[in-house]
Amino acid sequence: MSTTEVRTDVRTDIRTERIGSTLLITIDRPQARNAVNAAVATGLAAALDELEADPALRVGVLTGADGTFSAGMDLKAALRGESPEVPGRGFGGLTEAGPTKPLIAAVEGWAMGGGFELALGCDLIVAAGDARFGLPEVKRGLIAAGGGVIRLPKRIPYHLAMEFLLTGEPVSGRRAGDLGLVNRVTDTGDATAVALQLAEQVAMNAPLALAAVKGIVRAADGVPEADAFAVQREEMGDLTASADVREGMNAFAERRAPQWTGE
């Protein structure tokens, strides 16, 4: 891997590291099991802005410090009047943000409530086999309003999603893999390393094409096929006019690795 650049903002409890073309984003509040308060939410939003703004960054990996992904909303902070949401971006500054670049969750330990919803807000999930995923909001008189109620029934069969949402009971990372919620199941402690490897695979591809895939999948959700194809035609028009498409064809013909410019 290339030289790693580490930037830490103690105020926001978010740490970012540039590893090649990947931005590793770590929620760094281990004393609170990486629960999300207002500072974490604004810090995570800022990290996503960094990912989006820099053309040298192709993929983001989101994880938590010291063997815990995130315990979800910081209830003590919420009782003090803090909001774990960022206006227009949702819980943790992520769940409604819709970043154009691929985002991978690397889950160790607990991903509970809003922590699980942060993972659901990512495009891919890598988890340790003994990680724990759950949406316990109903146990506290709430619902999983950070995307859990909306997204989970689209990811797994209805009855399985409803078991999460109605019982509030967690499942292991291995069980989440069996359900199709997780792309890779790893040994304990290996989730971030495997997520970074997966990020490298993704980053080898054309950045405009990656963004187009995300845009089309998002636009096609719940709409008639004719509307989805209309969006796809528009995206394809932009792609076929790009320099990267020509570079991809030339690289194939010349039997070399493409040099993407994102143009």
pLDDT per position in the chain (263 positions), as tens?
444 555 544 446 999 999 999 999 999 999 999 999 999 999 999 999 999 999 999 999 999 999 999 999 999 999 999 999 999 999 999 999 999 999 999 999 999 999 999 999 999 999 999 999 999 999 999 999 999 999 999 999 999 999 999 999 999 999 999 999 999 999 999 999 999 999 999 999 999 999 999 999 999 999 999 999 999 999 999 999 999 999 999 999 999 999 999 98
77, two tokens = 């902070």
Q: What's the pLDDT at 7? A: 52
Q: Enumerate the domain spans of the chain.
A: 4-203, 207-253
Q: Are strands 171-172 and 132-134 parallel, antiparallel or unpaired?
A: antiparallel
d(CA 104, CA 62) in angstroms, rounded, equals 6
CATH class label, 4-203: alpha beta
Quick one: pLDDT at residue 239?
Answer: 92
Is 153 exposed, middle or buried (CB count within 10 Å of its CB: 0-12, 13-18, 19+)? middle
The span from the CA of 65 to the CA of 28, in Å, is 5
Instruction: Specify the amino acid at residue 226.
Output: A
Angstrom CA distances, 121 to 7, 35, 146, 204, 250, stand at 23, 16, 9, 22, 35
Give the active site residues: 117, 137
CB atoms within 10 A of CB 254: 9
Give the torsion sign (CA, 263, 102, 118, 168): positive
Rounded to whole angstroms, the Cα distance separating 53 from 65 reads 25
Q: Residue 256 to residues 204, 210, 253: CA-CA distances in angstroms?
A: 13, 20, 8
Residues with Cβ within 8 Å of 173's Cβ and at least 6 positions away in sequence, in order, are 107, 127, 128, 129, 130, 131, 132, 133, 182, 185
Contacts of 248 (CB under 8 A, 6+ apart): 206, 258
- The number of beta carbons lying within 10 Å of the beta carbon of residue 167 is 13
Q: In this predicted structure, what is the pLDDT of residue 206?
A: 96
Strand order, beta sheet including 124-128 = 4-9, 14-19, 22-27, 59-64, 103-107, 124-128, 184-186
